[in-house]
């Protein structure tokens, strides 16, 4: 087995390859003393590319001036296949270069360029290696390219890279066996640690025959970093392999990398975790976090369309185009005020002349310690109707329906808070359902539109409050909202009735990324809003839902949305979908 220390090359993504030569020199000697076979000292970017530190270009003259290489730990470079036509590489002669080997990194769409470059480098006398970037994205056509490459025997090893840190130990056998079946004798593995799986994945790879492994000092590397080389060496020592010595690395960590880590902060964090789980390039996740307009659950939702529409390698232009294509886009402070003015009437309650306020709520604790289901009318209600009905029976759920349910389910209670929707849909409710209306509508309006119905009519108190005031979601028997919404009101009713747990279905939000559909937010006339208004409604509802959930948690009442939803942080798969 051969071990490559890729600290300076991969870690350079964090500091633009601007390392102190003393750090590089002492890191190299740590590798030499520890029994590591190769030390990847940097990239060879085109010299005309501006803005990188010295180890981004790794010019031969510079390397000669900073390090005395030893054949027991050979120096390597990496070249990107995309730069194949622009890089300058001398013949591999000791008087011309201290470099003994070159790794060519290629995304799946760059293999032909990589083959040509590898053949040129081999002819110049270098050890050569092919690094398959983003191995998770290789398709059958690209595997065929690898298989049909006639000169594959020139490479010393083919590497597969977990570029986005998404691999699990169960993924590793496929790549090892696949590359071996294509005729590659030596297979190597380059890990990333987004899911904290770099060590476990590397152990599986070596157990299955991978004979080249990458690691970096203290895990330094792009995104969540790589396999910490000192951990792997320590493991090998504990197995009794006496040719390895971990201590030189521990010394260089204490001397340099512990301080560097505090200053640069690589490793496991929220951004890299999301990138690993979603299997997308870490720069896309970093970029969306920079916007400061997306909540974490919205970042999670956005990863689906990023994965589907953005190239495997990072492209800021296509990233921006992809986000602009989404129906939902976060509203910034500059235009929020103007948009809010357009829906001002929805943000305040218009009280009828005969509006009143209840002193008591008839149903207070009427279903104490029972589980409730709020039934909204998103498309998931129809899609999973039978599963929902089964759950209602199994759990003996108390049900509260909102607005128009198209007689798909007959709820115990049916709630309206909007005048126009009441007028349009109340006569479509089932007589077995008790009706619930906010007292601000007044009895005259309600009775006028329900006089031909046999359902029992009940009232509750619903108030709007100023966004700047700190008022509980439920105060006595009053439900207080910043943004009045019928589903939120239904959740409040469930709490007043004594709910021990509250489930919800049909609160879909939007599902454009996954299913190519959009659940629009509608205005009072039931016509879809434009993109900006719909996005504002979505954000306001999300904030109100968060406020409601915070109150429920404070009162130890679990709340879940149990059908697919863009409000993913509330989702629980109780229906086994």
Amino acid 201: pLDDT: 98
Q: Picking from 40-54, 467-481, 550-564, which range would have the lowest pLDDT averaged per residue?
A: 467-481
Q: What angle do CA 19, 22, 23 make, to 5 degrees?
A: 55
- CB burial string 189-200: b at 16+ within 10 A, e below: bbbbbbbebbbb
Whole-number pLDDT of residue 304: 85
Domain boundary pick from 238, 266, 294: 266
**What is the radius of gyration, based on Cα positions, of the chain?**
31
pLDDT at 175 over 70: yes
Q: Does residue 181 register a pLDDT over 60?
A: yes
Say whether pLDDT at 560 is over 60.
yes
Quote the Cα angle for 254-257-260, to 5°: 130
**Residue 577 included in any domain:** no
Per-residue pLDDT band for 531 (boundaries 50, 70, 90) equals low
Q: Which residues pair with 186 in a beta bridge?
A: none
Q: What is the pTM of this model?
A: 0.79
The confidence score (pLDDT) of residue 256 equals 97
Could you tell me which residue, 129 or 324, shows the higher pLDDT? 129
Residue 82, CA distances (Å) to 41, 223, 485 in order: 20, 21, 53
Closest CA to 68 of 103, 41, 104, 87: 41
pLDDT for res 53? 96
Establish if 88 belongs to a structural domain: yes
Q: What is the 8-class DSSP label of residue 216?
A: B
253 and 277 together in one domain: no
Check residue 556 and give left, alpha or beta (phi > 0: left; psi -120 to 50: alpha).
left
Q: Examine the domain organization and report whether 7 and 115 are in the same domain.
A: yes
What would the mean pLDDT of 297-321 be, rounded to a whole number? Answer: 88
Domain membership of residue 206 (yes or no) is yes
For residue 334, being part of any structural domain is answered with no
213 and 306 housed in the same domain: no
Query: What pLDDT shows up at residue 523?
Result: 47
Alpha-carbon gap, residue 375 to 409, rounded angstroms: 9
Give the β-pairing of 99-106 and 127-132: parallel
Claim to verify: residue 508 and residue 535 sit in the same structural domain: yes
Contacts with 46 (C-beta within 8 Å, 6 or more apart), sequence order:
83, 86, 87, 88
CA angle, residues 136, 139, 143, in degrees to nearest 5: 100
The answer to whether 17 and 227 are in contact (CB under 8 A) is no
Does some domain include residue 330? no
Claim to verify: residue 71 and residue 198 sit in the same structural domain:
yes
The three-point CA angle 507-512-517 to 5° equals: 80
Helix (H) or strand (E) holding 148: helix 140-148
DSSP string, 348-379: S----TT----SS-TTTTTTTT-EEEEE--SH
The reply to whether 340 falls in a domain is no
Bridge partners (DSSP) listed for residue 398: 372
User: Residue 349's pLDDT is what?
Assistant: 76
Cβ–Cβ under 8 Å, residues 477 and 348: no
Q: What is the pLDDT of residue 527?
A: 54
Same domain (yes/no): 317, 417 = no
Q: Is the pLDDT of residue 397 over 70?
A: yes
Instruction: Lowest mean pLDDT of 27-36, 209-218, 316-325, 462-471, name the range.
Output: 462-471
Domain identity same for 262 and 279: no
Confidence of residue 513 (pLDDT cuts 50, 70, 90): very low
Contacts of 140 (CB under 8 A, 6+ apart): none
Rounded percentage of the chain residues whose pLDDT exceeds 70:
92
Give the mean model confidence (pLDDT) for residues 381-402: 97
Cα–Cα dist 437/425, whole Å: 13
Q: Is residue 276 part of a domain?
A: yes
Mean pLDDT estimate for the chain: 91
Predicted pLDDT at 538: 84
Residue 103: strand, helix, or coil: strand
3-state secondary structure of 441: helix
Q: Rounded to whole angstroms, what are the CA distances from 200 to 4, 190, 204, 228?
A: 18, 12, 6, 12
Straight-line distance from the first to the last Cα atom of the chain, in angstroms, rounded to the nearest whole number: 45
Whether residue 318 is found in the same domain as residue 355: no
What band does 174 get if pLDDT is binned at 50, 70 and 90?
Answer: very high
Higher pLDDT pick, 524 / 468: 468
pLDDT (tens digit per residue) in 412-436: 999 999 998 999 999 999 999 999 9
What is the structure's pLDDT at 335?
A: 57
* CA–CA separation, 474 and 551 (whole Å): 8
Same domain, 306 and 366: no
For the beta sheet containing 457-464, the strands, ordered from the edge strand earlier in sequence to the opposite edge, are: 474-475, 478-481, 457-464, 434-438, 413-415, 398-402, 371-375, 501-505, 559-561
Q: Is residue 576 part of a domain?
A: no
Which of 134-143, 210-219, 285-294, 456-465 is predicted least confidently? 285-294
State how far Cα 11 lies from the chain centre.
23
The answer on 73 and 27 residing in a single domain is yes
Question: Which tens digit of pLDDT belongs to each residue from 68-111?
Answer: 999 999 999 999 999 888 999 999 999 999 999 999 999 999 99
Q: Is 59 exposed, middle or buried (0-12, 13-18, 19+ CB in 10 A)?
A: middle
The alpha carbon of residue 223 and the mean position of all alpha carbons in its chain are separated, in whole angstroms, by 13
246-269: average pLDDT = 95
DSSP string of 160-198, one letter each residue: EE-TTS---GGGHHHHHHHHHHTT-S-EEEE---TTS-H
pLDDT > 60? residue 290:
yes
What is the mean pLDDT of the segment spanning 260-266?
92
CATH number of the domain that residue 163 is part of: 3.20.20.70
What are the backbone dihedrals phi and psi of residue 212, each rounded to the nearest 5 degrees, phi first? -130, 140
Shared-domain flag, residues 460 and 512: yes
Same domain, 313 and 364: no
> How many structural domains are present in the chain?
3
Q: Tell me the residue range of the domain where 287 lies.
A: 271-325
pLDDT in tens, 3-54: 999 999 999 999 999 999 999 999 999 999 999 999 999 999 998 888 899 9
Q: Which of 232, 248, 266 is the last residue of a domain?
A: 266
């Amino acid at each position: 087995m051969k071990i490559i220390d890729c600290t300076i090359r991969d870690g350079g993504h964090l500091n633009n390859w601007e390392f102190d030569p003393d750090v590089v020199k002492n890191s190299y000697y740590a590798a030499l003393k520890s029994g590591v076979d190769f030390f990847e000292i940097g990239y060879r970017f085109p010299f005309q590319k501006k803005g990188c530190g010295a180890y981004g270009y790794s010019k031969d003259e510079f390397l000669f001036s900073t390090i005395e290489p030893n054949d027991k730990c050979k120096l390597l470079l990496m070249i990107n296949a995309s730069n194949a036509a622009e890089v300058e590489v001398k013949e591999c002669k000791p008087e011309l270069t201290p470099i003994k080997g070159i790794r060519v990194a290629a995304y799946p769409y760059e293999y032909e360029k990589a083959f040509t470059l590898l053949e040129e480098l081999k002819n110049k006398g270098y050890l050569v290696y092919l690094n398959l970037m983003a191995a998770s994205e290789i398709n059958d056509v690209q595997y065929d390219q690898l298989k049909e490459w006639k000169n594959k025997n020139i490479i010393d090893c083919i590497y597969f890279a977990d570029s986005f840190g998404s691999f699990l130990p169960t993924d590793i056998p496929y790549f090892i066996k696949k590359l071996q079946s294509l005729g590659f004798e030596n297979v190597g593995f380059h890990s990333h640690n987004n899911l904290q799986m770099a060590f476990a994945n590397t152990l599986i790879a070596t157990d299955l025959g991978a004979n080249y492994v990458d690691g970096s000092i203290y895990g330094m590397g792009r995104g969540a970093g790589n396999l910490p080389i000192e951990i792997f060496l320590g493991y090998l020592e504990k197995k009794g392999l006496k040719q390895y010595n971990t201590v030189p690395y521990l010394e260089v960590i204490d001397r340099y990398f512990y301080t560097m880590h505090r200053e640069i902060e690589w490793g496991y964090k929220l951004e890299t975790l999301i990138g690993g789980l979603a299997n997308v390039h870490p720069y896309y996740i970093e970029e969306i976090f920079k916007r400061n307009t997306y909540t974490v659950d919205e970042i999670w939702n956005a990863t689906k369309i990023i994965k589907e529409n953005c190239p495997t390698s990072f492209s800021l232009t296509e990233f921006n185009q992809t986000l602009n294509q989404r129906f939902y886009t976060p509203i910034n402070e500059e235009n929020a005020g103007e948009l809010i003015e357009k829906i001002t009437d929805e943000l305040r309650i218009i009280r009828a002349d005969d509006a009143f306020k209840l002193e008591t709520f008839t149903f207070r604790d009427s279903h104490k310690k029972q589980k409730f289901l709020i039934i909204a009318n998103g498309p998931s209600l129809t899609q999973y109707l039978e599963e929902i009905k089964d759950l209602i029976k199994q759990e003996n759920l108390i049900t509260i329906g909102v607005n128009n349910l198209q007689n798909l389910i007959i709820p115990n209670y049916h709630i309206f808070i909007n005048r126009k929707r009441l007028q349009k849909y109340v006569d479509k409710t089932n007589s077995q359902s008790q009706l619930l209306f906010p007292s601000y509508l007044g009895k005259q309006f309600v009775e006028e539109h329900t006089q031909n119905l046999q359902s029992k009519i009940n009232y509750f108190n619903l108030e709007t409050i100023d966004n700047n005031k700190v008022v509980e979601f439920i105060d006595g028997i009053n439900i207080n909202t910043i943004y009045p919404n019928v589903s939120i009101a239904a959740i409040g009713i469930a709490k007043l009735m004594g709910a021990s747990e509250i489930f919800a279905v049909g609160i879909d939000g939007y599902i454009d990324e996954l299913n190519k559909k959009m659940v629009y937010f509608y205005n009072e006339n039931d016509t879809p809003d434009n993109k900006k208004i719909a996005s504002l409604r979505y954000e306001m509802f999300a904030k109100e839902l968060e406020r409601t959930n915070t109150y429920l948690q404070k009162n130890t009442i679990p709340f879940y949305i149990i059908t697919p939803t863009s409000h993913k942080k509330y989702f629980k798969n109780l229906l086994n979908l």
